[in-house]
């Protein structure tokens, strides 16, 4: 894969490598999540393990287009200002090469744990196997990658237990294409952080004139797509947690009919520290206050679970309008 011209600029590659990203081919990357490291050392599990049964130690966190994104979210811990604000026009690596490379590089990044004194030996033995969970959520916006459907289908060939895809919702046509090509993930996330177009421009800073309309279109697909769907609502204290915003959030959630809603605290990490203050990071009590206000406006969603260590609260859709189409979609741990 390295014989072709590298699409990523060399300075960005070096910066990513300094941050312990494993670069694969010309535009993809893998990184080991801190929760994966903790799980291998028996120090705890990711909230996705608690909510959905994901095997934290055997998670592969990847991006097929690590530095391409069409938003500049103020709360993003990634170097959003350095993102390439366009679709990939150059020739891309084959999905098979990319998936093979991601598996290989991930294992290389994890080999240091084999001799760690506090490591879980049973979990370490699984590191050279196919990852049981794939999180297409590392960096960049995956729906800008021109072969996303083929990439997901290539992962499916390896028969993992689950594939989670996280998107900003700016490309609803790609989500429809995934369904058409039988390439939907196990679970699709759409991020929601603004309650109207004006707040979207201030918080998410999308590059397109119709960015807010695109997001609403994607959100309204969530009740129809044949996979489990989640809205991730990031709460930023002092910015999107006022009663007016919460009331509008409730309307958007009800209209979407997504299966789950994750209400998560903004975390004061990485490059976001250049744009926001630590005071903008809600604690667990702040999140509960947010949810208490939200409850006043919700009909379809009920509290399901919470993980205080990750500052996140889970709501589940209590409607039954899709149970016949997708069995067990309301039963947690069934991935």
Closest alpha carbon to 265 in 291, 303, 228, 300: 291
Closest alpha carbon to 290 in 272, 317, 313: 313
For 10-317, CATH number out of 3.40.50.300, 3.40.50.970, 3.20.20.70, 3.40.50.2000 equals 3.20.20.70
Task: Return the pLDDT at 320.
Answer: 53
What are the extents of the domains in the chain? Answer: 10-317
Task: Return the pLDDT at 311.
Answer: 96
Which has the minimum average pLDDT: 1-15, 124-138, 230-244?
1-15
For residues 135 and 158, the answer to whether their CB atoms sit within 8 Å is no
Instruction: Please state, in angstroms and rounded to a whole number, the distance separating the CA atoms of residues 225 and 181.
Output: 12
Q: Which residue, chain included where needed, has tokens 């490598």?
A: 17
Task: Return the pLDDT at 81.
Answer: 65
> Confidence class of residue 223 from pLDDT cuts 50, 70 and 90?
very high
DSSP label at residue 335? -
Top pLDDT among 330 and 220 is at: 220
| pLDDT at residue 334 tops 50 | no
Q: Which residues fall within 8 angstroms of residue 10, CB to CB, at 6 or more apart? A: none
Instruction: Please state, in angstroms and rounded to a whole number, the distance separating the CA atoms of residues 321 and 324.
Output: 8
Top pLDDT among 137 and 271 is at: 137
pLDDT tens for 59-86 read 999 999 998 999 989 888 877 666 776 7
User: Any bridge partners for residue 264, and if so which?
Assistant: 234, 312
pLDDT tens for 23-67 read 999 999 999 999 999 999 999 999 999 999 999 999 999 999 998
Average pLDDT, the chain: 90
Instruction: Please state, in angstroms and rounded to a whole number, the distance separating the CA atoms of residues 38 and 44.
Output: 6
| pLDDT at residue 3 tops 60 | no
Task: Return the pLDDT at 4.
Answer: 52
Task: Return the pLDDT at 162.
Answer: 94
| pLDDT at residue 140 tops 70 | yes
């Amino acid at each position: 894969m390295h014989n072709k011209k590298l699409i990523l600029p060399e300075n960005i590659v070096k910066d990513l490598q300094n941050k312990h990203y494993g670069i694969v081919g010309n535009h993809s990357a893998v990184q080991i999540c801190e929760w994966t490291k903790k799980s291998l050392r028996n120090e705890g599990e990711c909230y996705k393990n608690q909510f959905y049964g994901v095997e934290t130690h055997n998670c592969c966190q990847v991006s097929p287009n690590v530095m391409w994104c069409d938003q500049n979210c103020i709360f993003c811990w990634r170097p959003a200002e350095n993102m390439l604000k366009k679709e990939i026009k150059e020739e891309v690596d084959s999905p098979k090469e990319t998936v093979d490379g991601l598996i290989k590089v991930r294992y290389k990044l994890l080999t240091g744990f084999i001799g760690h004194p506090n490591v879980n030996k049973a979990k370490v033995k699984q590191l050279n196997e196919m990852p049981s969970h794939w999180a297409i959520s590392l960096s960049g916006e995956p729906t800008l990658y021109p072969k996303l459907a083929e990439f997901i289908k290539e992962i499916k060939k390896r028969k993992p237990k689950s594939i989670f895809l996280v998107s900003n919702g700016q490309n609803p046509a790609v989500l429809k294409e995934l369904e058409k090509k039988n390439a939907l993930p196990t679970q699709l996330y759409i991020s929601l952080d603004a309650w109207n177009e004006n707040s979207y421009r201030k918080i998410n800073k999308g590059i397109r004139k119709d960015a807010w309309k695109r997001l609403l279109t994607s959100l309204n697909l969530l009740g129809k797509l044949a996979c489990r769907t989640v809205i991730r609502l990031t709460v930023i204290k002092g910015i999107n947690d006022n009663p007016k915003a919460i009331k509008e959030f409730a309307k958007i959630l009800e209209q979407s009919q997504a299966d789950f809603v994750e209400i998560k605290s903004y975390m004061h990490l990485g490059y976001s520290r250049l744009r926001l203050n630590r005071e903008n990071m809600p604690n667990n009590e702040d999140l509960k206050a947010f949810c208490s206000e939200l409850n006043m406006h919700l009909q379809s969603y009920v509290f399901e679970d919470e993980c205080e260590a990750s500052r996140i609260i889970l709501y589940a859709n209590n409607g039954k309008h899709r149970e016949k189409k997708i069995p067990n979609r309301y039963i947690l741990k069934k991935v």
